[in-house]
């Protein structure tokens, strides 16, 4: 039987999430813990790490960015508050939006060194396609590359310290392994962030493309050790606030939000860089029963910007909306028919939660959120 957090709207189907005896999810429990957490101790830890690992003559650390709010906030804060010089790296997504490209250019113009990585096109497309077919994850190849390619470049440039944004497991509900541990090691990334599927998906690449898999594989343990690589998340050191990040990025880094709303949610200021993201959140909905509106509402509820009742109304309006206007783009990108595309979606749809039909294509929930 599925149920929802009584404080926010996290659903019991969320991977790795835990609830206490009062049906409060661990993201909401963490919200309360953060109120009494001694953040000054963690900031001192951050300052020590910045001192210990800033031995590259040119750059103090690496910050993966997309031109969006979170990487922009981290890079800006490192430069202004801690007087550090980060090297910013982006892995360009497929089906990029014009707004996402504009935001990335604006970010670079705001005064940062930015390296753009474009992995072998067909290899990335095939990994995204295989991820879609096998896992119901439509940009899985890109998800891999934003870890592996960034880390490879950092190692090759002898920059040991890498700051990712937040660990969504801790902040939004899931594994709590890193709640009191700043290190995001490779085994954790593979197990949790990739959900244990990376090797399988790469092994399914057509033979002629496997020679291009370099950007999708981690450096060797020997190379990581030699480079003294230290991978961490900013959310460990400072109370994570995605709206604060947005306001800062808009003010100082040229971030623009969409004029209209995003598919499947009520927000317009995040995840605007690829057309594949609405498909990802729709698949999340049919697999798990919650979509992007539930995630966004949970964030807003936990930061005190909306009540649970307000969030529930928004979830009822937006969650599970199929991105029909983007379907032709998906068919062209994956090079498949509409019927095959629909069959893959239905393959990953949870029949315990939804009633489904292929002809006509239809997915209807058997539940009411709340």
**142 and 93 Cβ atoms separated by less than 8 Å:** yes
Looking at residue 118, its pLDDT comes to 98
DSSP 218-251: PPPHHHHHHTT-EEEEGGGTS---HHHHHHHHHH
Q: Across all residues in the chain, what is the average pLDDT? A: 95
Domain residue limits, the chain? 39-236, 266-365
**Residue 367: is its pLDDT beyond 70?**
yes
**Residue 259: is its pLDDT beyond 80?**
no
Instruction: Kindly list the distances between the CA atom of residue 326 and the CA atoms of 176, 227, 278, 330, 338, in Å, as whole numbers in the listed order.
Output: 35, 43, 9, 7, 12
Query: Whole-angstrom Cα distance, residue 294 to residue 316?
Result: 9
Domain at 39-236, CATH class? alpha beta
Question: What tokens appear for 369 in the block?
Answer: 């959120």
Give the residues across from 249 on adjacent strands. none
pTM for the model: 0.95
Tens digits of residue pLDDT in 193-209: 998 889 999 999 999 99
**Residue 14: is its pLDDT beyond 80?**
yes
Question: What tokens appear for 194 in the block?
Answer: 């990739």
Res. 270 pLDDT band, cuts 50 70 90: low
For β-strands 113-117 and 86-91, DSSP reports them as parallel
Res. 268 pLDDT band, cuts 50 70 90: low
Tens digits of residue pLDDT in 53-89: 987 679 999 999 999 999 999 999 999 999 999 999 9
User: Computed over its alpha carbons, how large is the radius of gyration of the chain?
Assistant: 20
Looking at residue 258, its pLDDT comes to 77
Average pLDDT score over residue span 209-217: 97
Looking at residue 265, its pLDDT comes to 84
Query: Whole-angstrom Cα distance, residue 303 to residue 309?
Result: 15
Query: Whole-angstrom Cα distance, residue 13 to residue 350?
Result: 11
Q: Which has the closest alpha carbon to 94: 134, 145, 33, 60?
A: 145
Query: Whole-angstrom Cα distance, residue 233 to residue 261?
Result: 29
**Residue 370: is its pLDDT beyond 90?**
no
Tens digits of residue pLDDT in 293-346: 999 999 999 999 999 999 999 999 999 999 999 999 999 999 999 999 999 999
Looking at residue 104, its pLDDT comes to 97
Range with lowest mean pLDDT among 40-49, 55-64, 220-229, 315-324: 55-64
Res. 273 pLDDT band, cuts 50 70 90: confident
Query: Whole-angstrom Cα distance, residue 89 to residue 146?
Result: 9
Instruction: Kindly list the distances between the CA atom of residue 369 and the CA atoms of 265, 273, 281, 319, 366, in Å, as whole numbers in the listed order.
Output: 15, 29, 16, 10, 10
Average pLDDT score over residue span 250-272: 81
């Amino acid at each position: 039987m599925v149920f929802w957090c009584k404080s926010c709207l996290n659903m019991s189907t969320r991977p790795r999430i835990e609830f206490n005896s009062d049906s409060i999810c661990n993201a909401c429990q963490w919200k309360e813990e953060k109120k009494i957490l001694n953040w000054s101790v963690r900031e001192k830890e951050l300052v020590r790490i910045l001192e210990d690992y800033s031995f590259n003559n040119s750059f103090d650390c690496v910050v993966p960015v997309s031109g969006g709010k979170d990487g922009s906030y981290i890079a800006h804060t490192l430069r202004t508050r801690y007087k550090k010089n980060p090297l910013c790296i982006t892995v360009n997504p497929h089906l990029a939006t014009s707004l996402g490209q504009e935001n990335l250019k604006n970010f670079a113009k705001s005064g940062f060194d930015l390296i753009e990585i474009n992995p072998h096109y067909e290899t990335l497309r095939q990994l995204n396609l295989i991820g879609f077919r096998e896992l119901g994850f439509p940009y899985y190849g890109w998800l891999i590359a934003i870890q592996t390619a960034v880390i490879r470049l950092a190692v090759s440039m002898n920059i040991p310290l890498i700051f990712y944004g937040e660990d969504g497991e801790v902040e939004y509900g899931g594994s709590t392994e890193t709640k009191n541990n700043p290190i995001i090691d490779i085994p954790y990334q593979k197990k949790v962030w990739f959900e244990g599927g990376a090797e399988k998906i790469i092994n399914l690449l057509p033979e002629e493309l496997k020679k291009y898999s370099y950007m999708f594989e981690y450096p060797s343990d020997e190379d990581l050790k030699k480079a003294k690589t230290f991978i961490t998340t900013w959310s460990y050191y400072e109370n994570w606030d995605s709206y604060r990040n947005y306001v800062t990025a808009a003010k100082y880094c040229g971030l623009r939000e969409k004029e209209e709303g995003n598919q499947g949610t009520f927000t317009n200021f995040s995840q605007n860089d690829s057309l594949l993201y609405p498909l990802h959140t729709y698949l999340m909905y049919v697999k798990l029963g919650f979509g992007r509106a539930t995630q966004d509402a949970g964030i807003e509820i936990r930061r005190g910007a909306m009540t649970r009742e307000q969030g529930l109304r928004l979830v009822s309006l937006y969650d599970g909306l199929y991105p029909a206007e983007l379907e032709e783009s998906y068919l062209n990108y994956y090079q498949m028919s509409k019927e095959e595309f629909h069959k893959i979606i239905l393959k990953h749809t949870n029949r315990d939660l939804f009633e489904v039909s292929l002809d006509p294509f239809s997915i209807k929930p058997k539940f009411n959120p709340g």
